[in-house]
Amino acid sequence: MLLHRRWQSLDEADLGWLHAKYHFQVNAAGNPAHQALGSLVVWNDDEIAVGRGFPLHGHRDMEILTYVRQGVLGHRDTLGSEGTIHAGDVQVMSAGAGIRHAEFNVGEVPLKVYQIWLLPRETGGEPRWGTKPFPKSDRSGRFAVLASGFADDREALPIRANARLLGATLKAGERIRQQLSPSRSAYLVVASGRIEIDGEPMGPLDGAAITNATAAEIMALEDSELVMVETS
């Protein structure tokens, strides 16, 4: 089953410095059709103005993945970690028993990121942070695993959830068949471009919840960048 969540149907917020669209319902007033999917509870599409960002704040018992689509994200936290994450790169933070961090746009253009939250397998534990570059050439024509809670995905950033984050780039006219497990769900977002998935047209920034499927047939209608989470 595929449920198409079009960009126009997503809840949103505008704080001036932050423009956000929410693929999942964030409060009782939000779109009731956009419920959590397994351990995947948040997928925010954030655009942050130059020089602005989120001041020091705390999290616990959450796996937080950040996929940078445009610009440069600056990070610092109470572990002493600091880093800059560029477009195409991924950041992961296991909040564990508790961590405080700040994130800002340190680039010269609006920062565009996907903020993805997953429930951990277990609560508590030591917090940790990590980041890694993922050249888009390495995921050309296929989905590459970027972050994962499964030991077999050795090249991916580790997380503490029964889930994985994948990314792909497709040229116009290119097709791929992505194997899925019917015991898991998936959420796919078109970061750029246009595609068809199982015959359903999807535009730029649209999302789709996929359940009870053994595979997804994807064709790029134009050059496209795709981001997907598989979760149980």
pLDDT tens digits in sequence order for the chain, 232 residues long:
999 999 999 999 999 999 999 999 999 899 999 999 999 999 999 999 999 999 999 999 999 999 999 999 999 999 999 999 999 899 999 999 999 999 999 999 999 999 999 999 999 999 999 999 998 889 999 999 999 999 999 999 999 999 999 999 999 999 999 999 999 999 999 999 999 999 999 999 999 999 999 999 999 999 999 999 999 8
What is the bridge-based pairing of β-strands 40-48 and 63-70? unpaired
Q: How many domains does the chain have?
A: 1
Full domain range(s) for residue 71: 2-231
Q: Which CATH number characterizes residue 200's domain?
A: 2.60.120.10
Antiparallel, parallel or unpaired: β 90-94 and 128-132: antiparallel
So what's the pLDDT on residue 213? 96
Which positions ≥6 away from 213 have C-beta within 8 Å? 1, 2, 180, 182, 186
As a whole number of angstroms, the distance between CA 227 and CA 211 comes to 16
* DSSP secondary structure, 124-170, as one string: ----EEEEE---GGGGBTS-EEEEESSTT-TTSEE-SSSEEEEEEEE
The CA distance from 175 to 197, in Å, is 10
Comparing CA positions, the residue from 229, 1, 7, 4 lying closest to residue 118 is 229
Give the CA angle between residues 18, 23, 24 to the nearest 5°.
110
